[in-house]
Amino acid sequence: MARPREFDGDATLERAMHAFWTGGYKATSLEDLCGVTGLSRSSLYAAFGGKRALLHRSLARYEEQAVARIKSALAKPLPVREAIALFIGELIERIVAGPGRNGCFIGNCAAELAARDRATAARVRQSLARIEAAFRDALVKGQARGEIAASADVDSLARFLVSGIQGLRLVGKVNPDRVALADIAKVMLRCLE
C-alpha cells in the first residue's frame, strides 16, 4: 500500500513558485527548493518530477492566479478603460511599495530561459495567451457596450496591453518611481481612447 503524502501540495507549490520567482531558475538550487518546501530530494522528484517540472507547475500556478486577478479586476462595474486603468494603478502601487518589484514571474522566466529552453518558452507562451485572452474578453464586452470603438482591433489591443504591462513591470524592477510608471501607464491607456 502506498504511503499517503504528508504535505500540502498547494502550499508546497506556492513556496516553490516564490523561490523561483525571487531567485530565478538557475540560481534556485534543489537544496533551496528542498529548504523552502520541506521536502527531501526524493520526495520533491516523486511529487513534482524534478526541478524543471516544478518550475512549469509553478508557472501554471502563477498563471492561474494572474488570470483570476485580471478577470476579477476587469469584471468590476466600471467602463473597461477605467477598470484597466485601476488595475494598472494598483500594479504601480505594488511596485512602488516593494512587493511588486520582483517583476512578473512569467516575464522573468521568458527573459531567463525562453531563448534556450523550448518547453519553458511554450509554457510562457501559454501563460501569456491566457492573460491576453482575459484582456480580450473584457475589451470585447466593452466594445459591445460602446466603450471601445466598433472598429478597434481588440486582439491587437489585448496583445499591446499585455506587452505594455510586462514592460511596466520590467521597468519597475529597476526604477520604482511612481511618476515614471504613471507616465508609462498614461501612454498605454491612450490605446483605449
Instruction: Please tell me the total count of domains within the chain.
Output: 1
Please indicate, yes or no, if residue 13 is contained in any of the structural domains. no
5: part of which helix (H) or strand (E)? none
User: 105: domain CATH number?
Assistant: 1.10.357.10
- Confidence (pLDDT) at 101: 86
- Confidence (pLDDT) at 4: 42
Tell me the mean pLDDT in the region 62-78: 96
Supply 174's cell numbers.
529597476
pTM of the predicted model over 0.75: yes
Pairwise CA distance, residues 164 & 184, whole Å: 8
Over the chain, what is the mean pLDDT?
Answer: 92
Q: Which domain holds residue 131?
A: 60-192
- Confidence (pLDDT) at 81: 96
